[in-house]
A and B are shown apart, each in its own frame.
Chain A
Amino acid sequence: MLKMMAASKGLVTHGVSSCQGCGIELIIRNVLDVLGEDTVLVIPPGCAALFSGTGPEAAVKLAGIQGNLENSAAIASGIAAGFRHQGNEHTTVCAFCGDGATVDIGLQSLSGAMERNENILYICYDNEAYMNTGIQGSSSTPLGASTTTTPAGKPVGSKDLIQIVMAHGVPYAATASVADLGDLRRKVKKAKGIKGCRVLHIHCPCPTGWGYHSSKTIELAREGVDSGAWVLMEYENGRVKLGRRPSKLGHAEDYMKLQKRFRTAVGELTAQTNERIISRYEYLEKLERLGGE
C-alpha cells in the first residue's frame, strides 16, 4: 500500500495526458467506478495505454498489464484461466481496447476467446481510427471519414463489430455511448454480473482525430445516437434488444457536419452514409422482432 500523491476520486488518478475532452477518459472512469477494485485490467497499446502504462506513469490504481495489439483477449483469457485454477470466481478480468486493437489487429484473439466463451469482459472503446499513432484509418473508420491513410475520405464503410460478436453467440454483448452514461453504467454492471465472454462496444468521440472542439464531445455522441450512426442495443441469450430509438434516423449530415474528418464526404457520400444507416437499422429491427417471437 502506498499513499497517493494527489487526491483523486475513484480508481483513476488525475493528471492523465489524454487530450482535452477525450471520450476515453470519461468512459474509463465510469467503467472502473462500476467494476470496482476487484478488477484486473488488460490494455493494449493505443490511447487507453495513457492510463495503464508500466511504471509510475500508470494512472489506474489496479493490477493490470499492458499487452500487445494482437493479444488482449488472449492475455485476458490466460488471466481468467489462472483465476479459475485458484478457485477465484469474483475478480473481473477486463480487457479495455481501441477499435484498431479489436476489429483489425486483435480480432483473431477476440474471436478465439468468444469461441471458447472465456470468462472475460472485453470492452472496445471505438474512436474509429488508430488515434495514438496519428489517426490512421481502421476498419471501424466510417465511410467518408478522412484519416492520414484515407485523406480523401474512406471509400468503404466500417465492419459491424456487434454483429461479428453476435455471430459467436456470446452470453452478453451491448453497445453504449457517452451520450447516455446511465445506460452505459447499467450495461457495465449487467456485464459484470454475467459469466462467460461479455463484449461491450462503446462509442468514443475523439476531438483530436475527428476534428471538433473539445467541448462538443457529448453533443457529438448524442448526434451519433440520434442519427442512427451509432445504434444503442443489447444482445442477450440470443436475443437483440434495441435501445433508445434514433430521433432523426438517416440524417447523419447533422452529425457529420460537426466534424472536420467528414469535410470531403459531402454530397454523394452523405447520401450513401444515410442509406447504410437506414438499412442497417431496419435489419437490426428485424432481428429484434425475430427474438420477440
Chain B
Amino acid sequence: MNDNEYRVVWGKSGLYTLETSAWRTFRPQIDYSKCVGCGTCLLYCPLCCIGKADGRIVIDLSYCKGCGICREECPKQAIDWIKEAR
C-alpha cells in the first residue's frame, strides 16, 4: 500500500472530504525571517496539514481550518494571522 492508495469497505468513488478551508476566518502564514524550522507547529496541527518541503516548513491551506494552534504553540511567534477576505 503506498501513500495514495488504501482499502475502503464502502463507497463507489472512494472517501469523501469536506472543503474545511472554507471555515477559516483567519489564515496562518509563516514569517520565514523568524521561523527556525523547529517543527512544533507541525507536531500539534490537528489536521497534519503542516509539512516540510525543500527544507522549509510549509502549511497546506487547502484544508487548514484556521484553529490557530500552530500560531499559539510556535516558540518564535513566527506565524502571522491574516484575516481572510470573504
Contacts and interface: CB of A to CB of B under 8 A. Distances in A.
Interface of A: 1-18, 20-23, 25-26, 29, 37, 54-59, 61-64, 178, 181, 207, 213-219
B66 A20 contact: yes
Interface of B: 1, 3-20, 23, 43-49, 51, 62-63, 65-69, 71-73
A213 to B, nearest CB: 7
Nearest to A11: B6
B7 A56 contact: no
B69 A21 contact: yes
B63 A14 contact: yes
Contacts of A217: 46, 67, 69
Contacts of A215: 67-69, 71-72
5 contacts: A2-B8, A15-B20, A56-B15, A58-B10, A178-B44
B6 A5 contact: no
A218 B68 CA distance: 11
Contacts of A57: 15-16
Nearest to B66: A20
Contact of A14 (B1, B5, B20, B66): B20
A56 B4 contact: no
Given A15-B16, A15-B18, A17-B20, 15 more contacts: A1-B6, A3-B4, A5-B13, A15-B17, A15-B20, A25-B46, A25-B47, A29-B46, A55-B11, A59-B15, A59-B17, A61-B7, A61-B15, A207-B67, A214-B65
A22 to B, nearest CB: 6
Contact of A214 (B17, B44, B69): B69
A14 B10 contact: no
A58 B8 CA distance: 9
A127 to B, nearest CB: 13
